[in-house]
Structures are given as structure tokens and as C-alpha cells.
Chains A and B, each alone.
Chain A
């Protein structure tokens, strides 16, 4: 099987984000593999165990530095990497077109994994767009996967513990959720081995992607600073509870 995993190079969730100018962030912070993509790579590695001659290809669009994220994916099980290099900030319509074109140029996927969303731009849509470009079925927030007689049987989670189980024809696109598996955190030998795996870099321009019929453009970024002024609720636990109830009734008006 040819298993593609689309991965994204994102700022560490604990990093302080500074805004430069009006529409960009200061990228001098630690970047790493998007957490949901860790589940995607791990699942690809699990699948490869059952279909041994599979090839796992990690694909990432980003700046040159994105190679680091490909190396992380390799340490977790990807066999080779593909970087679509660009300095531009692309919207998801363009990103999906680029990933689609890069994958088509590289091979023919039997399955494409992604994370259900990226933790930086939180767009939640690139996987669906990739699916539409290939005309492959897509599901998101997958928490279990089984390949049965040439079809993927995937359970996806909705809110409140609700689930839906789908059957997808292969090839398909699966958006990994956190319940899918426990990521394979690499050992030192995995990291060393990953350094020797091949990465191919192609420039976004060389893919010659025509502009999409629409666009999403960031026109302003501003830090989300909270101006909350904590008021202390003092007293005995009984008095504190009483005051909380009063606030819920009279100030927030959410209980009667």
C-alpha cells in the first residue's frame, strides 16, 4: 500500500506568540509536528504492520524548516518524505491543491492520513478539500480503523461520547482524532534512523497550481488578551457556595 500522511509544521502550543506587523507571527519559536498528525503517522505505522510491503510517505508544505517535522514523522514510522517548499502563507484551498498535486506527482495513494485539524490555524477543512480533489471519501476525527475486504471501516467521534461508524471505499482520506491511538514517541535509535531516510523537496511554484476560485486571507492578527479582573469569593465553603449560586442566578442568569 502507498500510505500518504499529510503533516504540518506548527508552533509549539506552549510557545508565546508575538505578532509582527499586522498579519504575521514571529516564527522564532519552537515548531513541531502538529499533535493530531502524530496520531496520523502512528496509525500509518500500525497499518504497515498488517500490510508489510507498504510505503509511508510524509508530505508537508511549508518553509525549508518544515523538513524537521518530516524528520519527526520519519522517526515515528514514515519511510520517506516530501516537502512542498514555499515561503508563502497559503489558505487551505491552495494548500489542498498543492498537497494533491505533490501526491499525484509522487505516486498513487491507497490511503491518505491527516490530523483532524492543525493547532495553529485550526482550519478543519484541508482534508475534505484533498478528498474532493481526488474524489476520495473523507471522514474526520477517526478513533478506530480496520481494513476489511478492501474497505476501510472507521469509527469517528462526535461530541458527548457519540460515535458514527462508516465504511469507506479505498482510496480514502482519514482525519486522525486523539482517540485513534497512543502516538509512537520515537526512541533515540528511531531518530538516528530517520536521519538517513530520503526527503525530496519540490518548490510550490514548480507544481504550477492555478489559483482557486476563491480565497481566505488573513487581514489582521491581534493578541487575544483577557481583561478579566478576578473578584475573590471569601468565607466558609458554605458561604462561598451560596455566593456562587447567587452569581449564577442574579448576575449570569443561567439558573433560576
Chain B
């Protein structure tokens, strides 16, 4: 039986839903599942992980000092140590912003193969499915090696409960900060609680059609009412209406939300590269010939300056 370790991302002391989705994905195969937890395991975490099918929870708490705990090299080192200690043959992690800074480090430290941003994984054959060439191509990539690693796109698989009897073990780690890479400071943004684009269930995004920064507040207001994350086209970012962190697309974030609402976005190839895998796309555009109108699920032709205020009013 395979021995897989799933690196669990937490937020506000809770296991992220996207981490649970990763467990569901891994559990499709005949596999013994370890949850690798670096941020402390409390009762609710334990129950949560067991409910989704973890067999052994590996509690490897890092020191509270944020300079240690937040250092991606320390975190990656801990995962690599656990993999050796537990003799794992497979490691899963999320392809979130944090994951992109941690999972490839683990692969590099262990010198083992990795596919990031997987939309699906076939553990029987060690094949990962990922998009390439700006979302124009789906690639199946087969990994060989004593250990293999998959970085999973958040929301690629919805979590499904599959209760297991989970035991908890504690691993004590050597968490020295590498002398050549230290964390000096960090900034969690003005609203640290803002929903992360990559992990949101709903994204409402604006493009050139918003015309200026002030109007973009329509998107923010709508997002607030439906608990959505705010996305943007590159034009909206280049114009300085929203920060780069909001950009969806080939040179921005790649997202797979349940619903993507595109307002005043034409649907360029590069924009689609980032949101093509959304489960549902709703396009609000005044031009019925815009590319996005032919590649969406709901085609809402009209003026966003009339439709968005109505949405805000009715929500």
C-alpha cells in the first residue's frame, strides 16, 4: 500500500477546505494517509482530519516564533524530514501562494520529481493532470522515483467526508533556520481576512469595462455581499485600479472556483488561462460578440453599471 503524506494548510487554526479536498483526491487510491501538520493539532483539527479519511495525524509543531514558523525553508525542511522518517512514497501539498513557495523546495531538497498545479492525480499510475500553454493544453505527466510529489490546485476536488479512525503521533523536528535564508518581516495586507483568490468558491472579477478605480468599488461591494473574492483582468491591474494580487490569468492567479463572474472582461486567451477551469462562468458584458460570451455558462448581455447596482441591491 502506498504511504502518502498530505501537507495540511491551516487558516485561523482551522484546516482549509482545500486541504480536505486534497485528502479526498488522495483517498481514491489504496493508500495509507498521513496528515502532516506544522501549526499545532487541537481536537477540532483532529476530528476534521479523521472525518475526511486521514489514518495518522502527524503533529510536528514548529516553534511559535514567526521567524521560524513562517520561513518557507523551515517548513519545507520539516516536510522533507517527515517524509524520510515516515518512509513516505508520495507527498501532496496545495498549489496556493504559500504552497508554491514550499512544495517545490521539498522536491528540490529531496531531489525527487514534482508536478505543481495538478487538477487530478491517478495514484495507481503516478500520473498527474495539469494545464499547460496558458490553459490551452491538458498534460498527463507520469512521475517515477522513490518519492513523488504533487501540488494540487485548490478546489480541484471538492472534499467528501469519508470517516476513518485517525491516530495522532508527534514528531519532534530540528527546526533551525538556515543561515542563508531568514525572514525579516511580513505583511498580511490591510485586510488579512480577505478571501484568497485561489481558494474562493466565488470570484467576481472586473476588467476594462469598469473604466476607473472608483467604479471598481461596485465589484468590491458585490463581493462583500456574496462572500466572494475579487479578481481582475490585467488591464484593470495595469491601470492601477486594483493590486496585482487580484490579477487572474496567465501571468496572474490560476483559479478554479465554483463560480466565476466576469464583469466588463472580454475573455482574452491570457485571461482564460487563469479561469478556464472554473466550474461555472457567468459573463456580464455589453458586447454580445466578446469572446467570453461564447465561452461561458451564463451570458448576461447588458451594462454592468446597471446590473451590478441591482445585484448589490438585491443581495
Residues of A at the B interface (CB closer than 8 Å) are 11, 13-14, 16-17, 19, 25, 35-36, 91-93, 96, 119-125, 127-129, 131-132, 136-141, 153, 156-169, 172, 178-179, 212-224, 226, 228-234, 237-238, 240-242, 244-245, 247-248, 251-252, 254-255
- Taking a contact as CB atoms under 8 Å apart, the answer to whether A231 and B299 are in contact is yes
Across the A-B interface, how many residue pairs have beta carbons closer than 8 Å? 266
- 26 example contacts (A-B, Cβ-Cβ < 8 A) are as follows A13-B269, A17-B137, A120-B132, A122-B131, A128-B104, A128-B105, A137-B73, A137-B180, A158-B101, A159-B197, A164-B185, A166-B183, A178-B251, A214-B145, A215-B113, A216-B142, A218-B141, A219-B127, A220-B140, A224-B135, A231-B299, A233-B299, A241-B314, A244-B261, A244-B311, A254-B226
- The DSSP consensus for interface residues of chain B is mixed
Measured between alpha carbons, how far is A212 from B111 in the docked complex, in Å? 8
If A122-B132, A139-B181, A160-B245 touch, does A244 touch B202 (CB 8 Å cutoff)? no
- Taking a contact as CB atoms under 8 Å apart, the answer to whether B307 and A241 are in contact is yes
User: Which chain B residues border A153 with CB–CB below 8 Å?
Assistant: 184
Verify if B163 is at the interface (C-beta below 8 Å from A): no
User: Which chain A residues border B179 with CB–CB below 8 Å?
Assistant: 169
- Taking a contact as CB atoms under 8 Å apart, the answer to whether B202 and A254 are in contact is yes
- Taking a contact as CB atoms under 8 Å apart, the answer to whether B145 and A213 are in contact is yes
User: Which chain A residues border B250 with CB–CB below 8 Å?
Assistant: 13, 119
Which residue of chain A has its CB nearest to the CB of B244?
A179
- Taking a contact as CB atoms under 8 Å apart, the answer to whether B251 and A35 are in contact is yes
Question: Of the 9-residue stretches B16-24, B47-55, B272-280, which lies at the interface with chain A?
Answer: B272-280
Which residue of chain B has its CB nearest to the CB of A159?
B97
Measured between alpha carbons, how far is A156 from B310 in the docked complex, in Å? 39
- Taking a contact as CB atoms under 8 Å apart, the answer to whether A140 and B101 are in contact is yes
If A137-B178, A162-B188 touch, does A219 touch B314 (CB 8 Å cutoff)? no
State the Cβ distance, B159 to closest chain A Cβ, in Å: 15
User: Which chain A residues border B245 with CB–CB below 8 Å?
Assistant: 157, 159-162
- Taking a contact as CB atoms under 8 Å apart, the answer to whether B251 and A160 are in contact is no
B1-37 interface mask toward A, CB cutoff 8 Å, 1 = contact, 0 = none?
Answer: 0000000000000000000000000000000000000
- The DSSP consensus for interface residues of chain A is mixed
Among B137, B195, B259, B314, chain A packs the most CB atoms within 10 A around the CB of B137
User: Which chain A residues border B181 with CB–CB below 8 Å?
Assistant: 137-139, 166-169
Which residue of chain A has its CB nearest to the CB of B313?
A241
Measured between alpha carbons, how far is A128 from B184 in the docked complex, in Å? 20
For the complex of A and B, list the 6 residue pairs with the smallest distance between their C-beta atoms, beginning with the closest.
A214-B145, A241-B310, A159-B97, A137-B181, A128-B108, A237-B306
- Set A216, A241, A251: member contacting B114, Cβ < 8 A: A216
- Taking a contact as CB atoms under 8 Å apart, the answer to whether A160 and B132 are in contact is no
State the Cβ distance, B37 to closest chain A Cβ, in Å: 20
Which residue of chain A has its CB nearest to the CB of B128?
A216
Measured between alpha carbons, how far is A92 from B301 in the docked complex, in Å? 45
- Set B113, B117, B310: member contacting A240, Cβ < 8 A: B310
Which residue of chain A has its CB nearest to the CB of B107?
A125
Measured between alpha carbons, how far is A252 from B140 in the docked complex, in Å? 29
- Set B136, B143, B280: member contacting A17, Cβ < 8 A: B136
Which residue of chain B has its CB nearest to the CB of A96?
B108
Measured between alpha carbons, how far is A95 from B261 in the docked complex, in Å? 39
Which residue of chain B has its CB nearest to the CB of A35?
B251
If A157-B245, A162-B188 touch, does A255 touch B227 (CB 8 Å cutoff)? yes
